[in-house]
Amino acid sequence: MQVIVAGWIKMAGPASPTLQSATGLIEAALAEDGCLDYEWAVYPDRPDTILVFERWETVQALIAHLNAPPYFEMGGHLEKAGIAGADVLVHSVQGTQPIYGDDGLIAEEIFGTKTR
């Protein structure tokens, strides 16, 4: 079962320098087995907040990541920069499908529910 990690981390100051200096840690996570996406970005209108989005092939892949050096190094990096708050959750994925149809419009159905 695929899992998604999503949420935000509020920093004590501007988030951009902290995120830019974490590029190597992000690249290390992307290289881990089972990592499909590992995207961190600064909110456009909240310069102190990092948007977190990760997608993992399995729960086991996520757990391996949570026990790997890049995870602990990122935690230390963020703590050193000053975390002011966070809300990051893990979500199970029961299914996936494209949101747009071949015609470029929203899919006629999303998981069996008509959209248009």
In percent, how much of the chain has pLDDT > 90? 94
Predicted TM-score of the model (pTM): 0.89
Res 116 pLDDT > 90: no
Report the alpha-carbon distance of residue 41 to residue 53 in Å, rounded.
Answer: 9
Question: What angle (nearest 5°) sits at the alpha carbon of residue 20, between those of residues 61 and 3?
Answer: 20
Domain residue limits, the chain: 2-114
Give 2-114's CATH code, choosing from 2.60.40.420, 3.30.70.100, 3.30.930.10, 3.30.70.520: 3.30.70.100
110 is written with which tokens? 């999303």
Res 113 pLDDT > 90: yes
Please write the tens of the pLDDT for every residue from 62-101: 999 999 999 999 999 999 999 999 999 999 999 999 999 9
Neighbouring CB atoms inside 10 A of 78's CB total 19
Please write the tens of the pLDDT for every residue from 34-50: 999 999 999 889 999 99
